[in-house]
């Protein structure tokens, strides 16, 4: 068997700068997407506690709809419907953010419900207004409960950023693909994409696990 046809260190070295550029975009998308998902997810979780069904019902439908359809389809769909002035990267941020917000809302819901009933009762006994109870007592404890979930979804969003390829955002996977298309060497770039994902997500997931243990 011929060595160089399977793996060339030269090619690997050659593609690395492009991949690292792509990695920056990938991380950017994850961070911005996660910021959107954390804020929107919390708002959804709070709105789901609205006393009226006219808020909860439609919201439940939208959330389920987003969760039950593939991210890839959502990306392409929004991309095609959006006016061309909007950069693909921005569409990527927003769609990733909204998609994950529907999952994050579940994490927040669980986090809020995990705050013991006694905390609400103590707040009532002290006559604290509802808004203050949420802000000073319930949310700080609930958000602490959601940190591991947030971390897990960040890792999972990070791994799903290659879907941005479909709307021609030049992130890491897109860089690998275009390098392959130009040079006909796919093995090195794609292997390295996999490794780079692993290098970032594995330590992150270990960190999340440690956080889980510490908060438990």
Partner 1 sequence: MTTSTSSTGDVPAIEFKDVVKRFGDNVVLDKLNFSVAQGDRVTLIGPSGSGKTTILRLLMTLEEANGGLILIDGDPYTHEYKGQKWVEIPEKRRRVVRNRVGMVFQQFNLFPNMTVIENIIEAPIHVLGKSKAEAVARGEELLEQVGMSEKRDFKTNQLSGGQQQRVAIARALAMDPEILLLDEVTSALDPEIVADVLGVLREIAETTDITMLLVTHEMQFAREVSNRVLMFDQGQIVEEADPETMFTNPTHARTKEFLKAVLG
Least distance to partner 1 from the beta carbon of 53, Å? 21
51: contact with partner 1 by CB under 8 A: no
When asked if residue 121 is in the footprint of partner 1 (CB under 8 A), the reply is: yes
CB crowding 138-172: b at 16 or more within 10 Å, else e: bbeebbebbbbbbbbbbbebbebbbbbbbbebbbb
One of 2, 118, 184, 213 touching partner 1 (CB under 8 A): 118
- Please state, in angstroms and rounded to a whole number, the distance separating the CA atoms of residues 164 and 160: 8
211 sits near partner 1 (criterion: CB under 8 A): no
Q: Quick check: 122 binds partner 1 (CB under 8 A)?
A: yes
Choosing from 119, 145, 178, 201, the residue that interacts with partner 1 (CB under 8 A) is 119
Q: Alpha-carbon distance 101 to 1, whole Å?
A: 50
Q: Does 127 bind partner 1 (CB under 8 A)?
A: yes
Tell me how far the alpha carbon of residue 153 is from its chain's centroid.
5
Our CB check for partner 1 shows the closer of 134 and 186 to be: 134
From 13-21, 72-80, 90-98, 121-129, span contacting partner 1 (CB under 8 A): 121-129
d(CA 137, CA 144): 11
48 binds partner 1 (CB under 8 A): no
Taking the C-alpha atoms of residue 102 and residue 71, their distance in angstroms, rounded to an integer, is 12
Q: How far apart are CA 78 and CA 146, in angstroms?
A: 29
Least distance to partner 1 from the beta carbon of 212, Å? 18
User: For binding to partner 1 (CB under 8 A), which residues are involved?
Assistant: 116, 118-119, 121-122, 124-129, 132, 136-137, 140-141, 144
């Amino acid at each position: 068997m011929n060595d160089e046809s399977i793996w060339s260190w030269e090619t690997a070295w050659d593609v690395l700068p492009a991949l690292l550029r792509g990695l920056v975009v990938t991380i950017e998308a994850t961070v911005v997407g996660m910021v959107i998902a954390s804020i929107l997810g919390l708002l959804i979780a709070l709105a789901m506690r609205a006393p009226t069904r006219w808020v909860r019902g439609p919201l439940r439908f939208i959330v389920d709809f987003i969760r039950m359809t593939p991210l890839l389809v959502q990306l392409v769909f929004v991309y095609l419907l959006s006016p061309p002035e909007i950069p693909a990267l921005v569409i990527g941020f927003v769609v990733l953010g909204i998609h994950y917000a529907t999952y994050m809302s579940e994490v927040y819901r669980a986090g809020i419900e995990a705050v013991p009933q006694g905390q609400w009762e103590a707040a009532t006994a002290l006559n604290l207004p509802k808004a203050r109870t949420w802000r000073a007592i319930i949310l700080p404890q609930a958000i602490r409960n959601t940190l591991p979930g947030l971390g897990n979804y960040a890792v999972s969003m990070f791994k799903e950023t290659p879907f941005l390829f479909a709307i021609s955002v030049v992130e890491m996977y897109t860089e690998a693909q275009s390098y392959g298309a130009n040079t006909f060497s796919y093995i090195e770039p794609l292997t390295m994409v996999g490794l780079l994902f692993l290098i970032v997500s594995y330590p992150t997931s270990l960190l999340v696990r440690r956080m889980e243990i510490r908060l438990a």
